[in-house]
Amino acid sequence: MKTLSAKGQKLLKVFHLLFNFMWIGGAFSMMLLLLGTNPQESHELYMKSVTLKMIDDWLIIVGASGCVITGVIYGIWTKWGFFKQRWIIVKWILTIFMVISGTYLMGPCVNGNVYPVTEISNYTIENKSFNDNLSQITFWGIIQTILLIITVLISVYKPWKCKGK
C-alpha cells in the first residue's frame, strides 16, 4: 500500500497532536472543575454540569475521535502500522479502553447531570443521583487523565522494542 509523503506525515502529526491536546486539555479542565470547585446553589450546580458537558462534547469527544481517526491513518498509510511496534499496540489498547469507558461509563453520567433549566430544582447537593453521577465522573476522569498521560509517555519514550527483534 502507498504511504504518505514526508510532508503528508508531518501534517498528519500536527493534526494528531492537536487532537491529543484537545483530549488532554479537556481531561485536565474537567478535573480542575470537578476537584477545584464546590458549588452549593442550584444555579452554580447547573453551570458546573453544563460546563462539564460542553468540555466533554467539544474537547474530549472531538479530541478523542480525532486521535482515533489520525491513529487509523497512521496505521494504514505510514510505516508504523498497527502491530509492528509493541508500544503502538499498548497505545491502541489504552485508547480503545478510554473511548469505551468514556462513552459508556462516564458519558452517561455527564449527560445525566444536565437537566433542562426549567428543572433547576433538581440541582441540589442532596440529589443522590446527581452526586452519584459526579462521583463517577470524578473517578473515571482521574483514570482517563492518568491513562492519557501514560499514552503521551509511551509515545515519547517508545519503551518496547520492535516485535520482530
Separation between Cα atoms, residue 30 and residue 103, nearest integer Å: 15
pTM for the structure as a whole: 0.93
Q: How far does the chain reach from its first CA to its final CA, in angstroms?
A: 23
What integer is the mean pLDDT of 42-61? Answer: 97
Q: Give CA separation, 103 vs 26, 29, 151, in Å.
A: 15, 18, 19
Closest CA to 146 of 62, 52, 27: 27
pLDDT digits (tens, 9 = 90+) for 113-141: 999 988 988 899 899 999 999 999 999 99
**What's the pLDDT score for residue 161?**
67
Task: Indicate if the pLDDT at residue 105 is higher than 80.
Answer: yes
Distance (Å, whole) CA 59 – CA 55:
5
Question: Which among 128, 114, 122, 148 has a CA at the least distance from the CA of 31?
Answer: 148
Query: pLDDT-based confidence at 58, cuts 50/70/90?
Result: very high
